[in-house]
Structure 1
């Protein structure tokens, strides 16, 4: 079993005390609490951000717009990013006080120092996939609530590790599967229509996402100043710096580390973690998974099938064709005995179109009420209730992506036990479920 590295002593000065902070921002009615479970109604949750690349900055902007939180620290392996995030935060808070000046954000090159900061109640993790597990586990052990991006992990065993540690620590966890809350409510509506039998018995789900991950074959480059490349690699295998994996400075695109199996699960997992999550939700298998993984009949990077105990088959990126010869395609296509529902971030439709004309009644099955993923997390931190996408759910959805990647690599039929989370009678396949981290990231 992999154990997390211990906390090192904080490298920088300690977080501003509550009294010092309030003096520095005299006009701002900010009241901090050390623990969310003792929080008064007007207290603000103190947040630390681990990873402020493109996705992290997007989350940062969303949380900065909320009056019930206060961002007090950021961490990234690229100095330009932490400096930029610090400036963004301080500028936003300076605009809220009469003096127009605010200094109170810590920057941590090493996320372990941020987690060790007792002035932080919760963390937002928006790092590459291979860097989700260790920060999440250490944050849980430090008693901090967690919002972590999807896919939850780079490998399946790390996902179970997160689930176990979060349960033990009793912290509130939200997986960044925002389609459960947002994007016009289209996915929520699709799930309710499936749950209430509007397409009859569900037979097939088709998921429209790209290819599986591939081994990294990028050429090495000269490492830029201000980038801690060794820290970026973390538990992943050692290799030379690549700007494709870790772009220089502050950038505005989503880096291609997502395509490589050392760090992520390819497009199958990147968007698949969203869309397979909706499929699991609709099938009622949030805490389970398939029982078989079947490779494509012909050599292909699409068409892998997941077979569930219910008989439902989930198919990766392979669609039926209509009378015009074009694929009947969407992010998620639910095919039942009496019709089909197609749903994407841009909308929802059905075949026949009459299926969606009758709304879901108040007494019919309804999904968890949430229209704002961040708000749901914060409300659950205060109430102690479970979020719309807790660690177990996020892990199970990511597991589908891991199983798909393994299926494409091994190219043979695999039997899966979703309760034990092991392949049945297949030692070689079970070796694919975990990865030994680099020595410095284990004890």
Structure 2
């Protein structure tokens, strides 16, 4: 959609001046809506932290969506988010008032509402599987942040639930909707680089938490900063308004401390998989599309190395790491935290590098290549972004750019690499048909998370 004007700037929003991105509206909705209710999605938000607010504002920029509910275990987060939603929609009305966004602390109450068509899920990684499965069973279309799930069995259960329900599910691999990444993918798949000889992926190092947009965006969430987060933390009283028991959910019952929750859950295997799972749905996903292995799982992880910091009892994910993901069609994707962050593609007739701030060619000829629309992997239809693609697909019942089926396969590489690191293995073999480790009894205990009662995966 073509954005026409700024709806408002967030400096005038009292609830969260530094915690919401600005919104550029495609058109003014008005109370009655510039889009008929029959052609509009009513959305609920599950997880109103930093990324939840980012994707929510992206949805609010689309006139075909309306936020009607927000769910979060942090009372302050959900109150701020509801207030922002209502103030935003109120600015579009003649009366200057709007009341139409409800708050929930339990996602099951939100999912029980028959008027909600779809949900945006931005909860911590250890909750993704349960949130997606419950949403699919409730018949809600789903936009879920990456990584899709916290283990291969979890992403399998998610995929099965999505397929059984027939809902649309888009994973937040936003680079599938970014022009520079799509150009590199199309150049490689279209033969413009000649034969592909090597694909390498540079991922962030441990706790490299400086955000592209500056530290202010997440300051109130205790997230991004120029300094690394504290590496140890004594148990602290749970702050008022935070339902920490529900935040833990299926994870092991570790005591509360501020440095464990919100953004920093990523650095503990109880809740996330470190930078590898944090970015597998981005740079690695693009590399998988380059080599056409986005719909298959690796058969082996090789040359796996990892360094763990020994002075961080609070955080235990890999600090520096490298591995190769091998596929049954002889494709290999090399990953390293020592590489420049982005996707490096080498071909017999030229090489390209891409990340979110650069697109570089070894041969100026490649810059001039015009790729015919019929040879493009995805057509962006003007400036249509990742959230717009989800909303359009949910309204039409179409397949989105980043379906759960691809995420199940792509995310497997990160989970297998983490298993190899934790088991101290240089190599790990995997059967992609049975979706089981091969001859690795010492690594089996890392294959699937044990969910804490009463939560469990479906059989």
Corresponding residue to 2:173 among 167, 170, 177 = 177
String of CA shifts for 1:224-258, please: whole Å, max 9, x gaps. Answer: 010000111111100111212325xxxxxxx1111
1:222, 1:241 within 8 Å by CA — same for their partners in 2? yes
1:304, 1:407 within 8 Å by CA — same for their partners in 2? no
- Given the superposition, is the C-alpha separation of residues 235 and 164 from structure 1 closer, same or farther in structure 2, using an over 3 Å criterion? same
Unaligned runs of 5+ in 2: 1-28, 208-230, 309-319
State yes or no: 1:287 paired with 2:295.
yes
String of CA shifts for 1:372-414, please: whole Å, max 9, x gaps. Answer: 1111111111221100011111222211111111121222311
Tell me which residue corresponds to 1:305: 324
1:30, 1:44 within 8 Å by CA — same for their partners in 2? no
- Given the superposition, is the C-alpha separation of residues 376 and 401 from structure 1 closer, same or farther in structure 2, using an over 3 Å criterion? same
1:292, 1:414 within 8 Å by CA — same for their partners in 2? yes
State yes or no: 1:166 paired with 2:177.
no
Tell me which residue corresponds to 1:224: 239
Structure 1 residues 14-53: aligned runs within 5 Å: 28-30=31-33, 42-53=38-49
Tell me which residue corresponds to 1:5: none
State yes or no: 1:379 paired with 2:392.
yes
Q: 1:41: how far off?
A: 7.9
Give the alignment's TM-score, normalised by structure 1.
0.83
2:186, 2:376 within 8 Å by CA — same for their partners in 1? yes
State yes or no: 1:210 paired with 2:204.
yes
Q: 2: distance between equivalents of 1:117 and 1:285?
A: 38
Tell me which residue corresponds to 1:273: 281
Structure 1 residues 3-402: aligned runs within 5 Å: 28-30=31-33, 42-182=38-178, 185-211=179-205, 218-247=233-262, 255-296=263-304, 301-317=320-336, 329-362=340-373, 365-370=375-380, 371-402=384-415
String of CA shifts for 1:123-180, please: whole Å, max 9, x gaps. Answer: 0000111111101101100100000000111111110100000000000010000000
Q: 1:27: how far off?
A: 6.8
Q: 1:31: how far off?
A: 9.9
- Given the superposition, is the C-alpha separation of residues 158 and 102 from structure 1 closer, same or farther in structure 2, using an over 3 Å criterion? same
2:266, 2:272 within 8 Å by CA — same for their partners in 1? yes
- Given the superposition, is the C-alpha separation of residues 218 and 313 from structure 1 closer, same or farther in structure 2, using an over 3 Å criterion? farther
Q: 1: distance between equivalents of 2:136 and 2:115?
A: 15
Q: 2: distance between equivalents of 1:60 and 1:414?
A: 39
Tell me which residue corresponds to 2:452: 438
- Given the superposition, is the C-alpha separation of residues 204 and 407 from structure 1 closer, same or farther in structure 2, using an over 3 Å criterion? farther
2:172, 2:281 within 8 Å by CA — same for their partners in 1? no
Tell me which residue corresponds to 2:429: 415
Give the alignment's TM-score, normalised by structure 2.
0.80
3-state secondary structure, aligned to 1:302? strand
1:75, 1:107 within 8 Å by CA — same for their partners in 2? yes
3-state secondary structure, aligned to 2:443? helix
1:150, 1:273 within 8 Å by CA — same for their partners in 2? yes
Q: 1: distance between equivalents of 2:113 and 2:151?
A: 28
Q: 1:103: how far off?
A: 1.5
1:423, 1:430 within 8 Å by CA — same for their partners in 2? yes
Q: 2: distance between equivalents of 1:299 and 1:77?
A: 34
